A and B are shown apart, each in its own frame.
Chain A
Amino acid sequence: MSQARKQVKKKFNPAVLFRKQIFIPIAALLLLAIFNLIADPSFYKITLGYNSAGDPVLSGYLMTILDYGSELAILAIGMTLVTAASGGQDISVGAAIAIAGSVILRVLCGTDSRPDHMQAPVIVAFLIACVVAMLFGAFNGALVAYFKIQPMVATLILFTAGRSIAAWINNNELPIISDPSFAVYGGFIPGIPIPTPFFIAMVCVIITMLILKFTNLGLYTQSVGINESSSKLNGLDPAFIKFLSFVLLGLCVAVAGLIKVSRLSSINYSVIAKDIEMDAILAVALGGNSLGGGKFNMTASILGAYVIQFLTTTLYKFNVQSDALPAYKAVVVIVLVVLSTPKAREFMGKIAKSLKGSERSVA
């Protein structure tokens, strides 16, 4: 009995908890959850209703979070790999989403910007977008891996040019797809009340987890990030691993692009996925991953993405001016960066230890 209690106590040892990477997103999530519970418990209300097509849909703030956080979760997967391998971030994902989305609409619309029927199956359009997005990823990757350019500087090129390229792909027209079957990817599958983007995100997450479990991708990425020359001595090709991480991010971008353009069955080149690169990087940071590369925790990043959406939705709920949202996120970043420094962690560990010590002395 006492042994069992001791074991439980060991599990909840706060000092260990603080040192766990996943502690950061979970703590942030709990903080937000408790805040909402106190401020207005109706935040958690979920209702089953019907959309205008007559299909059942679940609605409520929690569903909104699952829905809109999905693109970010998908991007966070790729961004985590890029961060870990290259020790830098890709700031061109928003522009790349515009390109991928534009390609999808271009293939679906053909030459007519307002077709009555889709000119090609969605899967074909999506696969072409995947190839295009991976090519742009490869472009970024090549600059970083083989020409040794700083990731932020290398991806600045696409960040600047991407949206113009996206507009050029569609001759600067704004295609609109009226076929309701295209709206499924960013909306609901008829008969299933949970938003499709969440399913897409989950499929991506599962595939990623399987890849990390059954291949050496995770291990290789981390070792390249931690020490490039020693991993080279051990027979790895650091340049290729970095290159690969950017190509994989390209794949994530294509998936996020499909969801984005499907939400409105249209595209606006200058604002689609605007500033999403900042949120994606924030998700990685919120996951407690070092932005300088090396070790990473994929689950924590994905959780981080949903925490960001949780924060956004909470702020919308309390009618915070939406142009002030970046300021709140900035505060989160500052707190996180400070918390994740070894100094702050050591300090928290000490506090936890002394707490435990006083507990013991009281007992």
Chain B
Amino acid sequence: MKKKLLAVLMSAVMVMGLTACGGSAPAESAAPADDSASEAATDDAAAPAASGDLIKVGIINNDPNESGYRTANDKDLKEMFTKENGYDASFAYSLKNDEQITAAQKFITDGVDYLLLSAADTAGWDTVLKDAQDAGIRVILFDRTIDAPDSLYEASIVSDMAKEGQTAVDWLASQNLSEYNVIHIQGVMGSAAQQGRSGALDSKVAAESNWNIVTQQTAEWNAEKAQQIVQSVIDAGTPFNVIYAENDDMAKGAVAALDKANISHGVGKDVIVMGFDCNKWALEELLAQNWNYDGQCNPFQASYIDEIIKTIESGGTVSEKTIIMDEKGFDATTITQDDVDNYGI
């Protein structure tokens, strides 16, 4: 009897586990910091804050192991918020909203001057941010927005995913193919990156008669799943000439399937390969002309945050609540080694 009970329990857990698979959404977002901006910011930062004291900041971020994007983001923040630049920073990491809220409460108790937040989830932040406001702590959101009145925070620094997708689709349209048969590999459904990057392509396909979707599947940012999806299309024998993968990992998986079937890809070849995020290795693939396009997902928000803090400290006001960073798209025919070094994450 006990064993049977266990078996039933087990299967229930399994079912839950299986259906919950689609739940986790890797943080994908982007923001550009072009050279001049980051240089200017660094210069500013070199002069310690006007008061001469260190500015206390509490930074709540997602786990840096989550993705290459997050690793670069965390590194950028750590390089910016140092004692030399006039900051006393503490970091807290979690992929879970409730743990992040606990961390925020701790920072409020500690009496930080600024709370920098990349929220795991959009909901549930109202109360804690109100507490922060009452304690005179200024809140700056980076990378992700939340569902809360914008009076609760000073600024939100995000990237425009829809624009990222639009830039990529415009580039693809400029290739002037007579027919576009696209394999569309999506990220985790519902994530901001997926919605923005899918949206542009979807509307283009709906508008143009010579744009067709061969298959549209989510590989959940996973290279292996992308490989299987492309493999399935190849096995079915359906012709295609574009792979639109919503991140670099999935593009890599797709290319592995192409190589196996001896389908040529890259500049001037049979299949156009497009990725996002600008991982260093992906830009190297572009440089070698194995891929055609990579859209940037800029993790370097620290200089923007620094600028805002400097403005507030000097008594100024932040004019724009939502700051959208510009984003680049790289073409394999024009990319240079400098681009790889500067923008690769």
Contacts and interface: CB of A to CB of B under 8 A. Distances in A.
Nearest to B15: A330
Given A51-B261, A271-B221, A291 B65 contact: no
B4 A292 contact: yes
Given A68-B228, A167-B65, A270-B66, A333 B235 contact: no
Nearest first, the 9 A-B pairs at minimum CB distance are A292-B3, A326-B18, A316-B232, A323-B22, A326-B21, A271-B222, A167-B65, A337-B11, A52-B259
6 contacts: A53-B259, A59-B261, A64-B235, A268-B222, A271-B249, A282-B14
Interface string A65-84: 00010000000000000000
Interface residues of A, number: 63
Contact of B249 (A61, A268, A273, A337): A268
A297 interface: no
A89 B10 contact: yes
A72 to B, nearest CB: 12
Contacts of A312: 228
Interface SS, B side: helix
Interface stretch (B197-205, B212-220, B330-338): B212-220
Contacts of B15: 330, 333-334
A128 to B, nearest CB: 22
Interface stretch (A4-12, A133-141, A258-266): A258-266
B68 interface: yes
Contact of B21 (A275, A294, A337): A275
A183 B228 CA distance: 17
Interface of B: 2-4, 6-8, 10-11, 13-15, 17-22, 26, 63-68, 71, 188-189, 215, 217-225, 227-229, 231-232, 234-237, 249, 252-253, 256, 258-264, 279, 281
Contacts, number: 160
B264 A263 contact: no
Contact of A164 (B8, B65, B260, B279): B65
Contacts of A356: none
B256 A263 contact: yes
A26 interface: no
Given A51-B262, A89-B10, A292-B7, 5 more contacts: A59-B261, A68-B228, A264-B256, A270-B67, A326-B20
B64 A326 contact: no
A182 B147 CA distance: 47
Contacts of A293: 3
Contacts of A263: 224, 227, 256
B252 A290 contact: no
A87 B3 contact: yes
A187 B259 CA distance: 10
A213 interface: no
A126 interface: no
Contacts of A87: 3, 6
A274 B253 CA distance: 15
B219 A322 contact: yes
Interface string A81-111: 0000001110000000000000000000000
A172 B93 CA distance: 15
Given A270-B65, A270-B66, A292-B6, A330 B19 contact: yes
Interface string A315-342: 0110101110111011001100100010
A264 B65 CA distance: 19
Among A88, A163, A273, A333, find the residue whose CB has the most chain B CB atoms closer than 10 A.
Answer: A333
B215 A319 contact: yes
A119 interface: no
B263 to A, nearest CB: 8
Contacts of B224: 260, 263-264, 271-273
